[in-house]
Amino acid sequence: MPHKFPNDFLWGASISAHQTEGAYKSDGKGLTVQDTRVRDNHEIADFTIASDHYHHYKEDIQLLAELGVQIFRFSISWARIFPNGRGEVNQAGLDHYQDVINECLQHNIQPIITLNHFDLPQTLEEIGGWSNRETVDAFKDYAITVFKAYGQQVKYWLTINEPNVMLLVDQKILGKQIPIDEKYQQFHHLMIAEKYAFKLCHELVENGQIGPVPNISLVYPATSKPLDNQASLYFNSVRNWAYLDFSCFGRYNAVFSDYLKQKGVTITFAPGDEALMKENFPDFIAMNFYTTVTVEKPTDKNNMTEGISDQQSEDIMDWGFYKGVTNPYLKKNQFNWTIDPDGFKTTLQTLYDRYHLPIIITENGLGAKDDLTEDGKVHDPYRIDYLKQHIEQCLEAIEAGVDLFGYSPWSAIDLISVHEGISKRYGFIYVDRTEKELKQLARYKKDSFYWYQKLIQTNEIPPERR
């Protein structure tokens, strides 16, 4: 068998609305929790202009066509369609995404649309956000509106981006800490909203396919000590399986339920939730993957932070259950995130074994500081290395029997990182701005652009770097 990707494998590139669009108050858009979020570091770019993709979308899609992608993953900003989260529809918002979709299709690029990517309308946040059941109703109306508007043309849909990460690192993503009771009531509402999205997509979009889009990272035990293994069982469950078991099996995972019981958390179900959970399922799983996680069983309450020094581990501390530690076998990137291509393959295999659904990668990539040379080049061999190693593992996973049908890395164009500004760049396409200086926002193709272009053309991983 040739060591290459199947002919019908879908290559893509991904972005989200708030990290790229800017135009945060244009054409009737309402504010979102990302526009109002209190950020600890005011020296970094906010989302008001971002990469100005709202005004540059034609140029960006033209560049993606040149890159050769068959799919483009982007999200719709709910507050462009419903400035107040619900109620009156903003026609200008609907028209904007219609134009974006048309532009994609003219270039033979299929949109794959995320319904919501971290940017809940602010008006809904003011009634309690995902803690309030009314937000689920508002989400249903929003989903019906966009499925009806675009369902003729768009067949691939994603539900709510990374509810797992959103709740686990609430302070970083939402700018506030959510008390544990409320957090897991939000979990329930988010997952119920997702179930409605499955149901509505299947009812309203002819031949439509929809999947959940969590961030999945296998959790390793720090040692072979039985209690470290138990810590990884719990964190795997709380971080990964609780979400996907709900989406794919329609149930609360048993380890997760025990975690909630030990935490004294009780979740309120509304009439009909049980049936909804058990009757509506995804067509595929969209997986975002950056790194794996390593935990140990914490034994010293006064010393909970000792040994923690990587970005992911800092967020993992739950006395009695698990504590994140640095994995000594893995290298880290410039931003202190561990790099684990082998873990990527194992994560794919674990996911496929567990759920037996087709998988598409909708995020994977390297955040790094890039330099634009005077002659308009960006030499990013580090990004090519990262992508090469991870894409190689995708191919190995396919050869090992995983039904992986596409790869859409993060990110198409440079965007504003969730909490580290524009200096942490992910794109194949460089956007010329700094944290504070907008410059011309001109676009430049990085070396990784040409490398990925060649991969897409041949379905083989190019051996050389450019």
431 membership: H or E segment, kind and range = strand 429-431
| Among the residue ranges 160-168, 181-189, 259-267, 278-286, the one whose residues contact ligand BG6 (CB under 6 A) | 160-168
The footprint of ligand BG6 on residues 331-370 (CB under 6 A) is: 363, 367
Local structure of 75: helix, strand or coil: strand
Q: Which CB atom, from 255 or from 293, has the smaller least distance to ligand BG6? A: 293
The residues, any chain, with a CB within 8 Å of residue 162's CB and separated by 6 or more, are 118, 213, 214, 215, 288
| Among the residue ranges 79-87, 157-165, 326-334, 339-347, the one whose residues contact ligand BG6 (CB under 6 A) | 157-165
The full length of the chain comes to 466
Q: CB 454 → ligand BG6: shortest distance, Å?
A: 25
- Distance between CA atoms of 174 and 118, rounded to whole angstroms? 8
Torsion angle of the four alpha carbons 255, 258, 264, 269, in this order, in degrees rounded to the nearest 10: 80
Q: Give the residue closest to ligand BG6 by C-beta.
A: 417
Query: Angle at the Cα of 273 (from 268 to 275), degrees rounded to 5?
Result: 145
User: Does residue number 419 form part of the binding site for ligand BG6 (CB under 6 A)?
Assistant: yes
Distances (CA, A) of 462 to 9, 20, 392: 16, 29, 10
C-alpha closest to that of 409 among 373, 444, 456, 376: 456
User: Contacting ligand BG6 (CB under 6 A), which of 59, 134, 283, 420?
Assistant: 420
User: Contacting ligand BG6 (CB under 6 A), which of 32, 236, 417, 423?
Assistant: 417
User: Does residue number 215 form part of the binding site for ligand BG6 (CB under 6 A)?
Assistant: yes
Q: CB 197 → ligand BG6: shortest distance, Å?
A: 17
Q: How many residues bind ligand BG6 (CB under 6 A)?
A: 15
User: Contacting ligand BG6 (CB under 6 A), which of 35, 103, 119, 162?
Assistant: 162
The footprint of ligand BG6 on residues 20-79 (CB under 6 A) is: none
Q: Which CB atom, from 296 or from 414, has the smaller least distance to ligand BG6? A: 414
User: Does residue number 240 form part of the binding site for ligand BG6 (CB under 6 A)?
Assistant: no
| DSSP result, 241-261 | IHHHHHHHH-S--HHHHHHHH
Q: Which CB atom, from 382 or from 450, has the smaller least distance to ligand BG6? A: 382
User: Does residue number 16 form part of the binding site for ligand BG6 (CB under 6 A)?
Assistant: yes
Q: CB 16 → ligand BG6: shortest distance, Å?
A: 5
C-alpha closest to that of 78 among 40, 42, 41, 130: 130
| Phi, psi (rounded to 5 degrees) for 190 | -60, -40
- Distance between CA atoms of 412 and 116, rounded to whole angstroms? 18
Q: Which CB atom, from 161 or from 240, has the smaller least distance to ligand BG6? A: 161
C-alpha closest to that of 174 among 116, 226, 133: 116
Q: CB 269 → ligand BG6: shortest distance, Å?
A: 28
User: Does residue number 161 form part of the binding site for ligand BG6 (CB under 6 A)?
Assistant: yes
Query: Angle at the Cα of 286 (from 417 to 350), degrees rounded to 5?
Result: 110
| Phi, psi (rounded to 5 degrees) for 121 | -55, 135
Distances (CA, A) of 188 to 60, 86, 141, 193, 348: 37, 20, 18, 8, 25
User: Contacting ligand BG6 (CB under 6 A), which of 44, 136, 193, 418?
Assistant: 418
Residues 256 and 236: beta-carbon distance below 8 Å = no
| Among the residue ranges 21-29, 161-169, 229-237, 384-392, the one whose residues contact ligand BG6 (CB under 6 A) | 161-169
Q: CB 15 → ligand BG6: shortest distance, Å?
A: 9
| Among the residue ranges 84-92, 261-269, 412-420, 452-460, the one whose residues contact ligand BG6 (CB under 6 A) | 412-420
Local structure of 330: helix, strand or coil: coil
User: Does residue number 103 form part of the binding site for ligand BG6 (CB under 6 A)?
Assistant: no
Tokens for 434, please give them: 């700094």
| Among the residue ranges 158-166, 269-277, 325-333, 449-457, the one whose residues contact ligand BG6 (CB under 6 A) | 158-166
Tokens for 298, please give them: 């914490």
Q: Which CB atom, from 10 or from 418, has the smaller least distance to ligand BG6? A: 418
Catalytic residues: 363
Contact positions vs ligand BG6 (CB under 6 A): 16, 19, 161-162, 165, 215, 288, 363, 367, 410, 417-420, 424
